[in-house]
Amino acid sequence: MLTLIIVVLLVGAFIAWLIGEPSWIELRRRRVRARPFPAEWRQILRRHVPYVRGMPADLQLQLKKHMQVFLAEKVFIGCGGLEVTEAMRVTIAAQACLLLLNKRRPGYFPNLSQVLVYPGAFVVDKVHTGPAGVLQEQRQVLAGESWSQGQVILSWHDALEGAAEADDGRNVVIHEFAHQLDQENGDANGAPWIGRRHRARWAQVFGSEFALLQQQAERGEETLLSHYGATNPAEFFAVASEVFFEQAPQMAAQHPALFAELSRFYRVNPLSW
């Protein structure tokens, strides 16, 4: 009897912990957001992330609060001999947290634990299935990569350049963190969690726009979206996210349905910035 009582108490305590953990996490985050935004971070934003200056004041404040939580929870690791500085952390966090604005309950990329930063482009070995099903190893030079196992890998050179050139539609941090959103409900497939109501519309718009980009890439046409987005639906979503934040007027004019879907998903309208 005593053993049964102990088991019941332990099970009850475990259930209470499961229920209470999200509340404890949110309490901790509220305390982080309540802290003053460091003056040093403000200077870094002014120097490296000019995009922020053009945002409405309420979104700037929200971005800064998200950055505080992000930087308190994520570990940055220098690779290839790089020593990670505060400027690197803040510059990367500012770009990543753009994707969290106006979320009802931002998850702060729950699958992510580490941000690995190389000085520049890095080399990875990838295995591809070649003709007749033969596995082939290829070396690729990358500026960024997102892993579902909890890491984002970035080239600092490209992350800094992406922040400085805020209107060219190319931003490696936005790209890789869009993959993180996509990977929250499984493998990246260009269909992040959007809610049941909008799923059919998303699939129709993204399927049509992806097919169009593939056709344009095959014909060698100049396009607003990088031809890299024609690789697969996951890359299309990430490439489209870059353009949405950095070239909103052009996307709204050339791809209005795609712009509307991304605006609904990200809960912002960069046309007003």
Distance CA(47)–CA(44), nearest Å, equals 5
Q: Give residue 178's pLDDT band: very low, low, confident or very high (50, 70, 90).
A: very high
With cut-offs at 50, 70 and 90, classify the pLDDT of residue 133: low
| Mean pLDDT for the stretch of residues 259-271 | 97
Contact predicate 113/150, CB 8 Å: yes
Query: So where are the chain's domains?
Result: 20-169, 189-273
pTM of the model: 0.88
E strand or H helix at 77: strand 75-78
CA distance 86 to 150: 21
Q: In whole numbers, what is the pLDDT of the chain averaged over residues?
A: 89
For residue 48, is pLDDT > 80?
yes
Q: Look at residues 44, 172, 177 and name the one whose alpha carbon lies nearest to residue 53.
A: 44
Q: How far is CA 216 from CA 118, 229, 230, in A?
A: 33, 11, 9
Q: Is the pLDDT of residue 223 over 50?
A: yes
Residue 19 confidence (pLDDT) above 50: no
Q: What is the CATH number of domain 20-169?
A: 1.10.472.150
Residues whose CB is less than 8 angstroms from the CB of residue 97 and which lie 6 or more positions away in sequence, other chains included? 63, 66, 67, 70
Residue 20 banded pLDDT, cuts 50, 70, 90: very low
Give the pLDDT mean for 26-40: 96
What does the pLDDT read at residue 136?
54
Tell me the CA distances in angstroms from 85 to 11, 44, 92, one per residue in order.
45, 11, 11
For residue 108, the tally of other CB atoms under 10 A from its CB is 18
CATH code for the part of the protein at 189-273: 3.40.390.10
Cβ(249)–Cβ(271) under 8 Å?
yes
- pLDDT above 80 (res 49): yes
Alpha helices in the chain (DSSP H): 2-33, 39-48, 57-73, 86-96, 156-164, 172-182, 199-219, 233-246, 248-254, 256-266
